[in-house]
Structure 1
């Protein structure tokens, strides 16, 4: 059963047609969802620079790191979540050891089970 719902969008640009205003709101919502994803997954707490270039660079670096970890997770068949993997990597960043060993020494087996007592 499809219901007709009337939506009201506020604007101060009365020269644009209503369909264009709804498309702009839809685009803005996609931007909001993108930044929500960034906050949830990339863990950027603060920007080190305030220029547009500095912010874009930091976001791109965070996305690249996220993707590299996702690729590593898939290729090594690591069962832990990306969040867990990032946590383990953040505490063992300066240790020189194979990745799988880092996960096992952190109390996790390759299958994802917790082996800590």
Structure 2
């Protein structure tokens, strides 16, 4: 790109700025959406993986925003992942402190088939 002397310097600067924005976007995706590698190389595969991760991340961000949750989205993700099969509402789960969470983690798992 910089070897093309027919383009104006401002045009080349805009192209590099746009490219840098794309790099920043993919860095954000890898850091926040926990996508380490893309499973495919086609545009459809990459977009499907990004949309799937966004469908998980955005509700967590919205929950954090609406409930004024004081911890990070990553911590919220960890709690939801750990307590996914527990019979506790999300609001109650978010209002628990570390002691309550530790107590909930140590409970015996329920029996699936009681006779």
Q: TM-score, normalised by structure 1?
A: 0.71
C-alpha deviation, 1:96, in angstroms: 4.3
In the alignment, the residues of structure 2 paired with residue 92 and residue 15 of structure 1 have an alpha-carbon distance, to the nearest angstrom, of: 60
Which residue of 31, 44, 52 maps to 2:35? 44
In the alignment, the residues of structure 2 paired with residue 50 and residue 88 of structure 1 have an alpha-carbon distance, to the nearest angstrom, of: 32
Bigger relative contact order, structure 1 or 2 (CA pairs below 8 A, ≥6 apart): 1
C-alpha deviation, 1:38, in angstroms: 1.0
C-alpha deviation, 1:14, in angstroms: 1.9
Match of 1:25 in 2: 16
User: What is the Cα-based RMSD across aligned positions, in Å?
Assistant: 2.3
Is the aligned partner of 1:34 residue 2:25? Answer: yes
Is the aligned partner of 1:61 residue 2:52? Answer: yes
In the alignment, the residues of structure 2 paired with residue 54 and residue 81 of structure 1 have an alpha-carbon distance, to the nearest angstrom, of: 29
In the alignment, the residues of structure 2 paired with residue 50 and residue 25 of structure 1 have an alpha-carbon distance, to the nearest angstrom, of: 23
Please state which structure has a larger fraction of its residues in helix. Answer: 2
Ranges in structure 2 where 5+ consecutive residues have no aligned partner: 104-115
Ranges in structure 1 where 5+ consecutive residues have no aligned partner: 1-9
Q: TM-score, normalised by structure 2?
A: 0.72
In the alignment, the residues of structure 1 paired with residue 46 and residue 87 of structure 2 have an alpha-carbon distance, to the nearest angstrom, of: 31
In the alignment, the residues of structure 1 paired with residue 22 and residue 47 of structure 2 have an alpha-carbon distance, to the nearest angstrom, of: 14
Number of residue pairs matched?
101
